[in-house]
């Protein structure tokens, strides 16, 4: 179906499933006519209308380009991970991890270039030091704690100590199945005060 309009006369009609339409009380003459259909460019042309005659319009509408929209084909495991988070971009699912394993040597290297929304990875200051995933200034809330500004890290359902969380960023990408970063109420409802600075949830390939 399409919407057919004659702007000069202020009249419009909706076609049926066979693309037929009817307009009442339109004087004969040549009118600019527009044909609109969702998802397609609006077509316009000067059309002669003769009272009592059926007008045949031969149209080839072009689809409207949807710039900036990305379509990604994923599998059930990846979809499951993304549905578990309120922010899909804060998820690195199994499909994306397959690509990242080929390019990076550690979890810290991944987070340096693949930013999880609401967070910022801070590499160790020296050899043997600990990395830290912090919430960005825009993501800070009343739930944020100052005792340890780094996000908590949960691996296969187990929350790591502050010491262990710092060294988790040395983890090999080959060991990681998928991960996501949660913050705000989503983090504190799951992990209490420990989630005040956000939580990086990692599932390893050992459970698969």
Number of other residues whose CB lies within 10 A of the CB of residue 64: 12
170-195: burial string, b at 16+ Cβ within 10 Å, e else: ebebeebbbbbbbbbebbbeebeebb
Lowest-confidence region among 137-141, 192-196, 201-205: 137-141
Share of the chain above pLDDT 90, in %: 25
Predicted pLDDT at 142: 44
Q: Which domains does the chain have, with CATH numbers?
A: 3-49 (no CATH), 76-207 (2.170.130.10)
CA 159 from centre of chain:
28
In terms of Cβ atoms closer than 10 Å to its own Cβ (0-12, 13-18, 19+), residue 12 is middle
For the stretch 72-113, pLDDT in tens is: 555 666 666 555 555 556 889 898 999 999 999 999 999 999
Distance (Å, whole) CA 120 – CA 125: 15
What's the whole-number mean pLDDT along residues 168-179?
93
What's the whole-number mean pLDDT along residues 155-173?
91
- Specify the pTM: 0.58
Which residues, at least 6 apart from 98, have a Cβ–Cβ distance to it below 8 Å? none
């Amino acid at each position: 179906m399409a919407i057919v309009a004659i702007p000069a006369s202020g009249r419009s009609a909706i076609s049926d499933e066979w693309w037929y339409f009817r307009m009442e009380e339109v004087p004969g003459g040549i009118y600019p006519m527009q044909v609109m259909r969702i998802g397609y460019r609006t077509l316009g042309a000067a059309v002669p209308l003769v009272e009592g005659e059926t007008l045949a319009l031969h149209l080839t509408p072009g689809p409207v380009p949807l710039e900036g929209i990305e379509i990604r084909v994923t599998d059930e495991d990846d979809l499951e991970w993304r549905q578990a988070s309120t922010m899909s971009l804060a998820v690195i699912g199994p499909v994306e991890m397959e690509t990242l394993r080929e390019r990076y040597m550690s979890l810290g290297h991944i987070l340096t270039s693949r930013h999880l929304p609401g967070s910022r990875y801070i590499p160790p200051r020296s050899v043997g030091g600990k990395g830290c995933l912090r919430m960005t200034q825009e993501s800070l809330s009343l739930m944020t704690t100052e005792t340890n500004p780094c996000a908590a890290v949960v691996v296969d359902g187990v929350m790591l100590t502050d010491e262990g969380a710092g060294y988790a960023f040395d983890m090999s990408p080959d060991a990681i199945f998928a991960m996501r970063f949660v913050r705000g109420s989503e983090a504190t409802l799951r992990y209490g005060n420990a989630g005040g600075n956000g939580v990086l949830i990692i599932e390893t390939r050992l459970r698969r």
